Amino acid sequence: MHVTGTFTVEPSYPPSLAPLATLAQNLRWVWDGPTQDLFATLAPQQWAATLDPLETLRTAPQDRIDALGVDEGYLARVDAAAEDLRRYLDEPRWAAGIPGGARAVAYFSMEFGVSQTLPNYSGGLGILAGDHLKAASDLGVPLVALGLMYRSGYFKQTLSADGWQQEQYPQLDPSRLPLTPVLLSDGQQLTVSVTLDRGRVLHAIVWRADVGRVPLLLLDADVDANEPDLRSVTDRLYGGDAEHRLRQEILLGIGGVRAARAYCDLTGHPGIEVFHANEGHAGFLGLERTRELMAEQDLTFDEALALARCSTVFTTHTPVPAGIDRFPADLVRRYFGDGETCVLLPTVGLERMIALGAEADPGVFNMAHMGFRLAQRANGVSRLHGEVSREMFAGLWPDLVPSEVPIGSVTNGVHRGTWAARAVRESLSDPLTVPSDVLWGVRNTQRANLVDEVRTRTRAAWRDRGAVDAELGWTERMFDPDVLTIGFARRVSTYKRLTLMLREPDRLRRLLLDPERPIQVVIAGKSHPADDGGKHLLQQLIGFIDDPAIRHRIAFLPNYSIGMAGYLYHGCDVWLNNPLRPLEACGTSGMKSALNGGLNLSVLDGWWDELYDGENGWAIPSAVGLDPSRRDDIEAAALYDLLENDVVPAFYGQRDEQGVPKQWLAKVRHTLAVTGPEVTADRMVREYTMDYYRPAAQSYRATAPHIRELAAFADRIHAAWDDVAVQDSAATVGPAGVTLTADVALGGLAVGEVRVEAVLGPLDEAGALEGTSTVQLAPARAGADGTVRYQATVSSPVGHFGFTARVLPRHELLSGPAELGLVRYAK
């Protein structure tokens, strides 16, 4: 019959159940079990199918609502949850006790993975950003988050019959998401605008998602005020060409600052003091802050830039140049220039602005380079990644040795309330004392839940590929809740080596099909839509998995998402990670597994390089520096050896009368008790707050009244630096120790404007310093030739040592002597 129209009837709720709407709208429900239970009780089928409180409210049966609306027990639970949320939002928390802390922090990210009900993420960067917000909320860090509202989100992944990845983009309706419009006093939605090329203006309305205590502001360009091509600026995450991405990043950086300012003015939220760019996508925020300061405080470009830098934090997440956003410089000129002038900064020459993103290729504008140049504080996301970043970006500080490049590290963390299974949080709070049968029982239950999910999703995936139910009976018997289960789930890119496990396919088959001690492997991950290389790797894997002889022991689950990930992290016994070291900046999936007692089997890269201790899993050796094919052969063989000789025997061997594997469980206990606390987002956000946010706020407060003085100092230093020199240096061994001296020509600078150091240490075989330490030398006397002698006497152990002397700028408002990137060594 022909349909002439449609209509929707939604249930009505009595006043007694009104708090459910508030509980559904605040995403704190993601990590609050009692709130989740309320919606599961309200409509069990709808909740199980969606895990979405708002959709559950919209589709719950009316008779069930009516019954619960007068059910005293249920109403008491609703009131208790509402009161608990109120306390959570209002009571002072950890950050309130920090003396001198930042008044408020603006946190910018291209994506945020908070919940599957807000599909605004693609992978690790977004999940990390979501966990950052959740931990900041738990700790009471006064944070406002800024991102973009993608009307089509990221793609849904399916597979063709021959195993090729296919992408479908959903059309999202903000009214059905956990979003509320940010409204002006006249009821209109807050709109921010930015100028693009040829004077065109891009408008974006602002939505708010409540992540506990943290407002997440999302900018949406799909509005009538925009020209048709500009309405699509926020259509897809990581979609479109270079110009499309540039428009997105201009909106995020410049529009995001304006949205944050307007939001604080509208709501009375404390004003933003510190700005944190989570990757280079938001790098243009530094330009907007410079523009603000020039306009509001009548500062020059150099003065405003220096002041903006004081309170800006930049986090890099990539250890490879290919992971950096790099735009054609002429494209950036077109968007920011009007002849020779920068449109955003009318008194500034366009080429000065372009220089902020300069790199070795003059035709490229590098967003990471701009991020570093516009931030006083910067960091990588694991200890190893910090080291790699100092080497990778050393060219920005050409006079410094890489170890002194001012890039620190904060190892990523994951939000325990989100990623630890509820049974783990409630039953295993003290893993060292919980009875073995209880601990093993939790692990068995989580594995069994994963097996059920693998069967359900595999059946659905085969249907999507064209199979019919009559040929899918095997999916009801695939996987075994008592078999060692290994997980591998991450973005499909070449360096992550999805197919390393296939290097010796017969050896893997033997492991899968061992009649007494088999393994089973569950795999998930998406390839970027434009990455055909990643798609070919995935197709190769599917070709192996489709073999009827082994498909009951190995599975690929399409459309990896937050909803799926929980089952994997909770249920896998082993989490496999085999990237090319050192190309994994951090990698947090193994952390989530560890929170649940999963043991990691990983290359020593990212976080695992610093937290592997021999008791929490196994380290796959790396053959760095070899031919890529030979390296893969060697590392794959090492992986198989570990599985055959260590992992499998530990899981199946040494079982007590209750069937508990003692050796295995000892590792699980250790992982939960020792590794677990180290991988939490709580730890990560505390480090950012104390080591980056608070110092940035204090630097801004101290510098603002003296910014002209600081800028003048920097000008003097740069003007004089070519004439600064260490004329002579010496080390004299005497009874009191080693006296180190350096005669320095200051080039007209004052004695107090430089810091003179001796760098000393043992010599390697080539005669170069290694394991160095620095000693500050004090001014001793002025020489007749205009030099100043600096000296210090130090004690020294017996041995043969080398030394050199150097000069660095010195000012109390600099974050450190390396900030200006200027060093003069003795010749």
Q: What average pLDDT values come out for the chain (827 residues) when binned by 10 residues?
A: 84 97 98 98 96 97 97 98 98 96 98 96 95 98 98 94 95 96 97 95 98 98 96 93 97 98 97 97 97 95 96 94 91 92 90 96 97 97 97 93 94 98 93 95 97 98 96 97 97 91 96 97 95 94 97 97 96 97 95 98 97 98 94 96 98 92 97 98 98 98 97 96 94 90 95 94 81 89 88 86 93 91 92
Domains and CATH numbers, the chain: 15-90 (no CATH), 102-151+208-413 (3.40.50.2000), 416-679 (3.40.50.2000), 724-825 (2.60.40)
- Is the separation of the CB atoms in 775 and 761 below 8 Å? no
Q: Dig out the tokens for 8 from the structure.
A: 């929707």
Q: Dig out the tokens for 726 from the structure.
A: 């260490």
What CA–CA distance (Å, rounded) separates 426 from 158?
36
CA–CA distances in Å: residue 373 to residues 391, 421, 506, 517, 600: 16, 42, 52, 55, 37
Q: Dig out the tokens for 120 from the structure.
A: 């605004």
| Omega prior to 582 cis, within 30 of 0 | yes
12: Cα separation from own chain's centroid:
41
- Residue 332 is predicted with a pLDDT of 97
- Residue 182 is predicted with a pLDDT of 98
- Is the separation of the CB atoms in 809 and 397 below 8 Å? no
User: In the 8-state DSSP scheme, what is residue 598?
Assistant: P
- Residue 53 is predicted with a pLDDT of 98
Instruction: For the beta carbon of residue 396, count every other beta carbon within 10 angstroms.
Output: 19
Which residue stretches of 493-627 are H helix? 505-513, 532-545, 562-571, 589-595, 608-611
- Is the separation of the CB atoms in 556 and 291 below 8 Å? no
Q: Dig out the tokens for 410 from the structure.
A: 């904060």
Instruction: For the beta carbon of residue 655, count every other beta carbon within 10 angstroms.
Output: 15
- Sequence-distant (6+) residues with CB within 8 A of 559 are 156, 157, 158, 526
- Residue 8 is predicted with a pLDDT of 86
Residue 746 CA neighbour count, 13 Å, CB half: 20
- Is the separation of the CB atoms in 809 and 750 below 8 Å? no
- Backbone phi, then psi, for 126, in 5-degree steps? -70, -40
Total residues belonging to the chain: 827
Is 261 buried (19+), middle (13-18) or exposed (0-12) by CB count in 10 A? middle
User: In the 8-state DSSP scheme, what is residue 270?
Assistant: P
Alpha-carbon dihedral 495, 498, 504, 508, rounded to 10 degrees: 150
Q: Are strands 201-211 and 191-195 parallel, antiparallel or unpaired?
A: antiparallel
Tokens 């909770």 correspond to what residue? 570
Is 547 buried (19+), middle (13-18) or exposed (0-12) by CB count in 10 A? exposed
What CA–CA distance (Å, rounded) separates 599 from 184?
51
Q: What is the 3-state secondary structure (H, E, C) of 675-726?
A: HHHHCEHHHHHHHHHHHHHHHHHHHHHHHHHHHHHHHHHHHHHHHHHHHCEE
What CA–CA distance (Å, rounded) separates 333 from 227?
22
Tokens 């017969």 correspond to what residue? 506
- Residue 718 is predicted with a pLDDT of 95
140: Cα separation from own chain's centroid:
20
- Sequence-distant (6+) residues with CB within 8 A of 23 are 29, 35, 38, 53, 78, 81, 82, 85
What CA–CA distance (Å, rounded) separates 145 from 30?
18
- Backbone phi, then psi, for 559, in 5-degree steps? 65, 55
Is 374 buried (19+), middle (13-18) or exposed (0-12) by CB count in 10 A? buried
- Of the candidates 120, 51, 714, 771, the one whose C-alpha atom is nearest the C-alpha of residue 422 is 51
Tokens 């009318």 correspond to what residue? 346
- Is the separation of the CB atoms in 380 and 316 below 8 Å? yes
Alpha-carbon dihedral 471, 477, 483, 484, rounded to 10 degrees: 30
What CA–CA distance (Å, rounded) separates 743 from 732?
14
